[in-house]
Chains A and B, each alone.
Chain A
């Protein structure tokens, strides 16, 4: 199956710093990638849809200036949490549907656990 990687897998940072999380599709191209946030014992919440070559589409309630998304190429999307605060601590997961396969299979990255001190 297709593989999606994320880097880093874990990051601990100080309050006020910015953190960049990378999402890569390793063996297929993805014009669209999705970024999710998962709180402990909660479901995944879609934050934004990352579109290659254009601006990301953010879900209601998600601050676009706080969570910067850049879809730099057909295999890479980055999420930057700017001026991180402890309430941004969470598990961030990206996914990518494989081109030509519609929406019936998205491949998920292993997730990045962010802890803001």
Chain B
């Protein structure tokens, strides 16, 4: 089955950049996502990228995709204390008329030190 792996923990100083990495195994992944989960809350979609893209930038967020290595990363520029949360990488095979299952990674807990 599909497998999505992430490191469990990342600690950065406020103002620095954070880079959260993810690897996946499903070569037919079409969509790759980054979600944010704050303590005790549901998930918030931060951004997503199609598998035919290498990069996507959205304000402080930059997503890089290396499809050959099946590696996805999320860079948060100028990390703030409010960015402290768990970040989930996820993938799906896309939509062929129906909604496809989304497989989530294990989550990376980002701790921002003031």
Residue interface mask B92-108, A partner, CB < 8 A = 1: 10110011111111110
Q: Which residues of chain A have C-beta atoms less than 8 A from B8's C-beta?
A: 41
Evaluate whether A110 and B95 lie within 8 angstroms (CB atoms) in the complex, with A43-B105, A43-B106, A104-B48 already known. Answer: no
**B48 CB to closest chain A CB, in angstroms?**
6
Residue interface mask A89-117, B partner, CB < 8 A = 1: 00001010100001111111111010000
- Interface residue tally of chain A, by bracket? 20 to 34
- Interface residue tally of chain B, by bracket? 20 to 34
Is there contact, CB below 8 Å, between B42 and A103? Answer: no
Q: Summarize A's interface: helix, strand, loop or mixed.
A: strand
Q: Name the residue on B nearest A31 (C-beta).
A: B99
Determine which of B45, B101, B107 lies in contact with A105 in the assembled complex, contact meaning CB atoms within 8 Å.
B45
In this assembly, does A32 line the interface, its C-beta being within 8 Å of a C-beta of chain B?
A: yes
Is there contact, CB below 8 Å, between B43 and A43? Answer: no
Is there contact, CB below 8 Å, between B104 and A44? Answer: yes
Residues of A participating in the B interface, judged by any CB pair closer than 8 Å: 4, 6, 32, 34, 41-44, 46, 49, 93, 95, 97, 102-111, 113
20 contacts between A and B (CB under 8 A): A4-B42, A6-B42, A34-B99, A34-B102, A42-B107, A43-B106, A44-B88, A46-B101, A46-B102, A93-B43, A97-B99, A102-B94, A102-B99, A103-B99, A104-B31, A104-B48, A105-B45, A106-B99, A106-B102, A110-B41
